[in-house]
Amino acid sequence: MTQGTQRPTRTQAQRSAHTRQRLLDATIESLVELGYAGTSTQGIARRAGVSRGAQLHQFPTKVSLVVAAVEYLVEKRLAEILATRPAPERGLEVLVDVFSGPLFYAALELWVAARTDRELFEAMVPLERVVVDALTGGATEVMGERFGPDGIELSIELARGFAVSALFRTPAEESERRARLLPAWEAMVTGR
């Protein structure tokens, strides 16, 4: 900056939103890298480069932080997919892609941990409804009406299972499996 030039100041709301964003991104990174058990609020604050007090102000518990991070990532990922406007014939491929990468790995960590952690389970129930609603709306928009509501719901459930089993395959095996199974899946669901 040159002398006499001042940096524009951000409002408190802008600073708070920026802190929140950094915490959510750091939470997803931590869940993917360390898993739920290895993720701590102190580690997330360090990773985000914010004070522990700032983290506690935004999210008072680990559960509130991880649930907010997954909800944020679902909204972000859905917006990215819809912005690309994929062709309806690529609908299943797009749906299967949703269940990969950081969103899927972070959510998977929470699903498994929620099985034995009552507090997390109770927080995950409404999040799961948000996720299913977002997936249903996005899948309907991408695939059109040809799948119908039951076909969309079945496809979401199959895509989750498909993604879990993909964890144990090489990329080449997964590519072959997709090429072989997605057309059969679509034919089964649409009756075509």
Q: What domain range includes position 68?
A: 62-190
Tell me, what's the pLDDT at 86?
76
User: How far is the C-alpha of 192 from the C-alpha of 185, rounded, in Å?
Assistant: 10
**Alpha-carbon gap, residue 43 to 95, rounded angstroms:** 32
Q: What pLDDT shows up at residue 116?
A: 94
Query: Do the domain assignments include residue 6?
Result: no
Q: Is residue 132 part of a domain?
A: yes
The verdict on residue 1 lying in a domain is: no
Domain total for the chain? 1
In what helix (H) or strand (E) does residue 2 lie, and over which residues does it extend?
none
Within-domain flag for 20: no
Query: Is 78 a domain residue?
Result: yes
pLDDT reported for residue 190: 86
- In-domain check, residue 19: no
Q: How many CA atoms lie within 13 A of 186 on its CB side?
A: 18
Distances in Å between the Cα of 123 and the Cα atoms of 17, 81, 113, 140, 173 are 22, 26, 12, 26, 36
Q: Residues 40, 13, 42, CA angle at the centre, nearest 5°?
A: 10
- Flag whether 147 is in a domain: yes
pLDDT for position 84: 76
Q: What is the pTM of this model?
A: 0.78
Domain annotation covers residue 52: no
pLDDT under 50 in the chain at which residues? Answer: none
Per-residue pLDDT of 86-138, as tens digits, reads: 787 888 888 888 888 877 888 888 999 999 999 999 999 998 898 888 889 88
